[in-house]
Amino acid sequence: MKKAKNLVWLLASLAAITTSAQASEPIQPIQPVKEINLAKAELGKKLYFDPRLSKSGFISCNSCHNLSMGGTDNLKTSIGHSWQQGPINAPTVLNSSLSIAQFWDGRAADLKEQAGGPIANPGEMAFTHTLAVDVLGSIPGYVNEFKLVFGTGKVDIDQVTSAIAEFEKTLVTPHSPFDQWLMGDETALTQTEKEGYQLFKTSGCVACHNGEAVGGSSFQKMGLVKPYQTKNSAEGLAGVTGKDADRFKFKVPTLRNVELTYPYFHDGEAATLTQAVDTMGRLQLGRQFSEAENAKIVAFLKTLTGDQPQFLMPILPPSTDKTPAPKPFD
């Protein structure tokens, strides 16, 4: 009996030591969202999927940040109003609430500020805030819901962006295999995946890709060791700060769900994770990964895919509360 108790104690102690060691890793598990205004988030979900926030009536937030495609559109650069090709790769909306700022150049401080940008951008949804609010204010179902959520039936852009941001806060992806390993499940990763993580750490990748989101917490120059050759004209952070020292500095992207968010980099020029790892090794770390090393890192990166958002598609309020009279047969 005493031996059995000692064995239980030993196993518990080993589990505690393992959990403690993994808790000190540079990457932490994603925590499920805790504080959400459910009514506001539900309204925000409708707005996120509603193409009536665009001039054409065909483009919604989900068009470029598709929640069935890792929160992106899997294009080099997105297609906007009148089939315009966008200037930069659409970053994933998943786990975006964990980022230091929004957009590649950080021009929006938070999700609320970001939500208003595409609506009024002539190359994206091509509307104006005034017209978008007028459209929503003409839809009885929305007027009622805004009144329930905000206490007023008068819709304004501040409410619109606040609701969209509240919905986007729910789009976290916990319980990835790597998170399960971090929390003490040694069987959650294969030996190859563990070796890939060790390479990821010892090579210096964690200097930028760390924390819950495995990125998103800093701005770094693209091409530290060797210049990055691209035809994309994006200036990065310099376009916001006006400082030449910030030229070609971009927000470090999250690596959560990265196997789903191809193509990679701000210009979308890396089509595969293998290509992205090779480029980052050479240009950012000054290291040429062997084929075997690259494969191990890619294997680790794929363990960062967590639970994808699961919800019923929202039923959007009809444009009128009046049922049209049936048309007579000819």
pLDDT of residue 5: 47
* Threshold 0.85, pTM exceeds: yes
Q: How many CB atoms neighbour CB 143 within 10 A?
A: 18
Query: In the prediction, which pLDDT does 21 show?
Result: 53
Dihedral sign for Cα atoms in the order 223, 226, 229, 235: positive
pLDDT number for residue 312? 85
Integer Cα distance of 72 and 55 in angstroms: 21
One-letter-per-residue 3-state SS of 136-190: HHCCHHHHHHHHHHHCCCCCCHHHHHHHHHHHHHCCCCCCCHHHHHHCCCHHHCC
Show pLDDT as tens, one digit a residue, over the chain (330 residues). Answer: 545 544 444 444 444 444 555 668 999 999 988 899 999 999 999 999 999 999 999 999 999 999 999 999 999 999 999 999 999 999 999 999 999 999 999 999 999 999 999 999 999 999 999 999 999 999 999 999 999 999 988 999 999 999 999 999 999 999 999 999 999 999 999 999 999 999 999 999 999 999 999 999 999 999 999 999 999 999 999 999 999 999 999 999 999 999 999 999 999 999 999 999 999 999 999 999 999 999 999 999 999 999 999 888 899 999 976 644 444 433
Nearest to 258 by CA among 190, 218, 205, 311: 205
> Residue 221 has what DSSP assignment?
E
Q: Which helix (H) or strand (E) holds 83?
A: none
Burial letters 116-136, b for 16+ CB under 10 A, else e: bebbbeeebbbbebeebbebb
3-class SS of residue 88 = coil
Q: Provide the pLDDT for residue 153.
A: 81
| Residue whose C-alpha is closest to residue 86's, from 111, 65, 102 | 65
Residues with a catalytic annotation lie at 124
* Residue 314, preceding peptide bond in cis (omega within 30° of 0): no
Phi, psi for residue 138 in degrees, rounded to 5: -95, -5
